[in-house]
């Protein structure tokens, strides 16, 4: 009888553990991959696969501007010194020439290459295409406002980015893009990445007038 009771209690305990695990996973979301620097990267260094790794984190805690694959970063240069263990984000990088996977190309004298992560589908936002970029901000009164922050920007490189687990954009696909822009536009995008509630990429059809 004692042996039977022990089996029942064991089964109940296992069921409770499984239930708690399911509850925690539902609360924080599933795991997503985030690209991380596995070695220190000096400022100005061209990034290659030897300094990159991938770590799994709960989607709820993934950085909003993280990269999902190392291929999105190959060939970019570090804009600042990056310590080992740091999650790679667009604000740490500068535009540069890259190989076929990264798809960055050298900008003209009056142009800059910026990296932006926005709501959008990487299958629709492809290298060579053009996008408009919507910027949504939270206002002082609690209302949100959305403006067209960028029109007809050329996509130099793109790839899928980690999704976010909560907020208005929870579960929506996100895309990491390298865009060819002017210096003033680069400043606008840097500010938006730091303060905006959401960036949303709208792919333009090939027939759209420029």
List, as own/partner pairs, every contact residues 161-164 make where C-beta atoms lie below 8 angstroms and the sequence separation is at least 24, other chains included. Answer: 161/66, 161/67, 161/68, 161/72, 161/117, 161/122, 162/32, 162/33, 162/34, 162/59, 162/62, 162/63, 162/66, 162/67, 162/68, 163/32, 163/59, 163/62, 164/59, 164/60, 164/62, 164/64
Q: Collapsing DSSP states into helix, strand and coil, what is residue 52?
A: strand
With a cut of 60, say whether residue 40 has pLDDT above it: yes
With a cut of 60, say whether residue 10 has pLDDT above it: no
| pLDDT band (50, 70, 90) for residue 177 | confident
In this predicted structure, what is the pLDDT of residue 135?
Answer: 92
Q: Give, in words, the CATH class of 30-203.
A: alpha beta
In this predicted structure, what is the pLDDT of residue 23?
Answer: 58
> What are the pLDDT digits (tens) for 179-201?
888 888 888 888 888 888 889 99
> What are the pLDDT digits (tens) for 92-139?
877 544 433 343 444 455 677 788 889 999 889 988 889 999 999 887
pTM: 0.53
> What are the pLDDT digits (tens) for 41-88?
998 888 888 898 988 877 667 776 677 777 777 778 888 888 999 888
Detail the DSSP E strand segments found in the chain: 31-37, 52-58, 77-78, 93-94, 112-119, 130-138, 144-161, 174-181, 198-203
Domain boundaries, the chain: 30-203
With a cut of 50, say whether residue 142 has pLDDT above it: yes
In this predicted structure, what is the pLDDT of residue 167?
Answer: 63
In this predicted structure, what is the pLDDT of residue 104?
Answer: 42
With a cut of 60, say whether residue 24 has pLDDT above it: no
């Amino acid at each position: 009888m004692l042996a039977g009771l022990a089996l029942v209690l064991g089964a109940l305990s296992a069921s409770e553990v499984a239930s708690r695990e399911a509850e925690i996973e539902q609360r924080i979301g599933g795991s997503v991959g985030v690209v991380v620097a596995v070695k220190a990267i000096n400022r100005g260094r061209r990034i290659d696969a030897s300094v990159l790794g991938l770590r799994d984190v709960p989607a709820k805690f993934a950085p909003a501007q993280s990269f999902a694959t190392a291929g999105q970063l190959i060939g970019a240069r570090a804009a600042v010194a990056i310590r080992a263990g740091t999650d790679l984000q667009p604000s740490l990088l500068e535009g540069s020439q890259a190989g076929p996977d990264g798809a960055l190309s050298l900008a003209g004298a009056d142009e800059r290459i910026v990296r932006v992560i926005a709501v959008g589908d990487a299958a629709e936002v492809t290298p060579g295409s053009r996008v408009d970029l919507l910027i949504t901000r939270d206002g002082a009164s609690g209302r949100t406002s959305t403006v067209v922050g960028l029109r007809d920007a050329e996509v130099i490189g793109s790839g899928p980015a980690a999704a976010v687990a909560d907020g208005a954009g929870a579960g929506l696909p996100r895309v990491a893009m390298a865009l060819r822009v002017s210096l003033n536009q680069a400043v606008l995008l840097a500010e938006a990445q730091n303060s905006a509630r959401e960036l949303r990429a709208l792919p333009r059809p090939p027939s759209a007038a420029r």
